[in-house]
Amino acid sequence: MTAAAASHTVNGKSISGPLQPVGQNLLVKIAEAADTTAGGLILTGSAKEKPTYGEVVEAGSGKFFPNGMQVPMSISKGEYVLYGKYGGTDLDYDGDKHTIVTQDDVLCKLANGEYSASAVEPILDRLLVKVEESAEETSSGIILSKTAKEKSTSGKVVAMGPGRFMENGQTEPPAFAVGDTVFYGKYSGTEVEFGGDAYMLIRVADVYAKV
């Protein structure tokens, strides 16, 4: 085996060349876990929460519709992505923690790798919605505790992707715009937090009404 062939490893085992994802898969180098909480508490070992974002090291070429048209990838090598907590397959690649996720697992891109709401770039038919606060009391005046509050299912669209790629090669035209207030299903999307504020990353199909 040549030196070049032995220059890459997966889970400690040498492979014959660089790892190349296929289809809609992405090889993502996972970001380092935070050492402290927002309140300054120092975290160690298993107490550190596993990050769900990182840099795309390699990307597949995309998938095909039944009519033969290729669905182009919306994500490229070198970009940073945020993905679902339970998506992906973790592995050790060249001594660093990586994960393999599909483009469907990706919630958004993060411009310049910055973990903030202003850096969020939703892909395809995804939306970033700033969640409205739940009601503090019922219509009859009963004050609700934090645990008794109903989960909010509405908020303002702060960023949106270009739309779902269709079989005719076009993107689906948007039904709403940044600044609209939208209502979505109770179990839709993924909740994320930026700067202490709650946001939802949802799909266009999750929205059932707008204002």
Q: How much is the average pLDDT of 198-210?
A: 95
pTM for the complete prediction?
0.81
Q: How much is the average pLDDT of 48-77?
A: 87
Chain-centre distance of CA 130, in angstroms?
Answer: 15
Q: How confident is residue 51, by pLDDT bands cut at 50, 70 and 90?
A: low
pLDDT at 110 over 50: yes
Of 25, 100, 23, 27, give the one whose Cα is nearest residue 62.
23
Residue with tokens 């397959």: 89
pLDDT at 154 over 80: yes
Q: What H or E segment, with its residue span, contains residue 28? A: strand 25-30
pLDDT at 36: 37
| Domains of the chain, CATH where assigned | 1-115 (2.30.33.40), 124-211 (2.30.33.40)
pLDDT at 24 over 90: yes
Q: How confident is residue 86, by pLDDT bands cut at 50, 70 and 90?
A: confident
pLDDT at 65 over 60: yes
Give the rounded percent of residues in the chain with a pLDDT score beyond 90: 63
**What mean pLDDT value characterizes the chain?**
84
Q: How confident is residue 72, by pLDDT bands cut at 50, 70 and 90?
A: confident
CA–CA gap between residue 98 and residue 94 (Å, rounded) = 9
pLDDT at 41: 43
pLDDT at 43: 32
**DSSP symbols for 145-209:** PTTTSPPP-EEEEEEE-S-PBPTTSPBPPPSS-TT-EEEE-TT-SEEEEETTEEEEEEEGGGEEE
Torsion of CA 175, 181, 184, 187, to 10 degrees: 140
Q: Which two tokens stand for residue 118?
A: 């202003």
pLDDT at 108 over 80: yes
pLDDT at 12: 93
